[in-house]
Amino acid sequence: MKIEKINLYNLSMKLRTPFETSFGRIDTRDCLIIEIFSQGLSGYGECTADRDPGYSYETTKTAWHILDEFVFPVVLEKEMSSPESFQALVGFIRGHQMAKAGMEMALWDLYGKMHNRSLRQMLGGVNDTVRVGVSVGLQETSKKLVEVVGGYLDNGYCRIKIKIKPGRDIKDTSAVRQAFPDILLQVDANSAFSLSNVDALLPLDDMNLILIEQPLADDDLWDHHLFQKKMKTPICLDESIHSTRHARQALEMQACRIINIKAGRVGGLSEGLAIHNLCQDNKIPVWCGGMLETGVGRAANLALASLPGFSLPGDISASDRYYERDITHQRFILNSDSTINVPDGAGLGITVDHQALKMVTLAEKTY
């Protein structure tokens, strides 16, 4: 597999409704799409870095720079035996996992098309459908949050995740739990708390939650270990896990009992697969987090989440959850049992709507 040409697109896509977390509120979602060519075929990848450095230090501008200056020069005209061989080529780049993951995803798509195999098959996925939930951002009031949650339950989602932050934690969660006593419910703090104020979260132990996601700092494992000792509810790590090594360390020090796997955050699908295998060996549940992806990244998430260790519903959601018009011809639809079908076509199993892509492209470059 030798890459002959690359197109890089910087997109800005308007969300159907604003999405607010502990680190900010957005109305539009920025990302990068990578299109690669070889032997008359094309492959697509999505870099999930956003415009602002809220969730991660990576942004669309930093990712563009890393891809432009460092990644693309070492992959163009380079013979690669498989997508996994890409990691060795970019091993000299410290960090910048989302930039690397976007390129690797495109390689998986292209490789699958060359060999007429779906991404699910190549990763070893076993499920044709994936259980999914929905992530609900902060709302103006607890009452409004309950209304929004009720709407998603009416749409058929089996699991609800709500965002929390200091001052918007116990009251909001309690309101949702009282309104819907039997639903699968979890909360996500996006690193909004510190060990000095986590006692405020102890009442969550009485609300029958699946998990509390990333309550403490994104670069922390030890304090999560101390907090998990206080809680009956499982702590789930997201932002703190950037590699299989981080996952192993978190499990060894009992910093969490669940791990959220995002291929973009950990540097690619191959690393996501390795973390899945580690957790499965240690009987630790995993689930697939979301980054408001387009249909390109959503297809990759579904293939990853079809692996057997993904036993909890993911934050993948249907296409119409975020965008009026996506950039893929395929629309991912919520089934009546709160699942979404895993694409079974070659590669990612999607085709890009170039007219839609052009409408939301801010900048592009060809290599």
Whether 314 and 303 have beta carbons less than 8 Å apart is answered as: no
The tokens describing 170, both together, are 């116990």
Is residue 206 domain-shared with residue 151, that is, in the same domain? yes
Q: Are residues 170 and 266 in the same domain?
A: yes
Asked, for residue 346, whether it belongs to a domain, the answer is no
Determine the length of the chain. 367
Q: Which residues lie below 8 Å from residue 110, measured CB to CB, with a gap of 6+? A: 1, 3, 36, 38, 41, 42, 43, 347
Please indicate, yes or no, whether residues 240 and 358 belong to a single structural domain of this protein. Answer: no
CA 271/CA 275 separation, integer angstroms = 6
Determine, yes or no, domain membership for 261: yes
Do 152 and 258 belong together in one domain? yes
| Active-site position among 100, 113, 165, 262 | 262
CB hemisphere CA count around 320 (13 angstroms):
5
Amino acid identity at 3: I
Q: Are residues 60 and 203 in the same domain?
A: no
Render each residue's pLDDT in the chain as its tens digit; 367 residues: 899 999 999 999 999 888 878 777 888 999 999 999 999 999 999 999 999 999 999 999 999 999 999 999 999 988 899 999 999 999 999 999 999 999 999 999 999 999 999 999 999 999 999 999 999 999 999 999 999 999 999 999 999 999 999 999 999 999 999 999 999 999 999 999 999 888 999 999 999 999 999 999 999 999 999 999 999 999 999 999 999 999 999 999 999 999 999 999 999 999 999 999 999 999 999 999 999 999 999 999 999 999 999 999 999 999 888 898 999 999 999 999 999 999 999 999 999 999 999 999 999 999 9
The reply to whether 31 falls in a domain is yes
Provide the β-strand partners of residue 131.
Answer: 339
Residue 236 and residue 259 in contact, taking contact as beta carbons nearer than 8 Å: yes
Tell me whether strands 134-136 and 129-131 are parallel, antiparallel or unpaired: unpaired
CA distances from 223 to 56, 231, 238, 240, 252 (A): 20, 13, 14, 11, 14
Instruction: Clarify whether 163 is annotated catalytic.
Output: yes
Residue entry with tokens 């990576």: 58
Q: What CATH number is attached to the domain comprising 112?
A: 3.30.390.10
* Count of the separate structural domains present in the chain: 2
* Cβ within 8 Å of residue 40, ≥6 positions away: none
pTM, two decimal places: 0.95
Residue 69 sits in the same domain as residue 110: yes
Tokens of 310: 């993904």
Catalytic position from the list 100, 113, 161, 163: 163
- Residue 281: count other Cβ atoms within 10 Å of its Cβ: 10
The CATH number of whichever domain residue 159 belongs to comes to 3.20.20.120
One domain, residues 201 and 318: yes
Q: What residue numbers bound the domain in which 79 lies?
A: 5-117+351-366
Q: Are residues 281 and 230 in the same domain?
A: yes
How many CB atoms neighbour CB 78 within 10 A? 13
Residue 259 and residue 219 share a domain: yes
Same domain, 60 and 130: no
- 303 and 181 inside one domain: yes
98 and 153 belong to one structural domain: no
Residue 308 and residue 124: Cα distance in Å, rounded? Answer: 9
User: Would you call 229 a catalytic residue per the annotation?
Assistant: no
Q: H or E element: which one contains 281?
A: helix 269-281
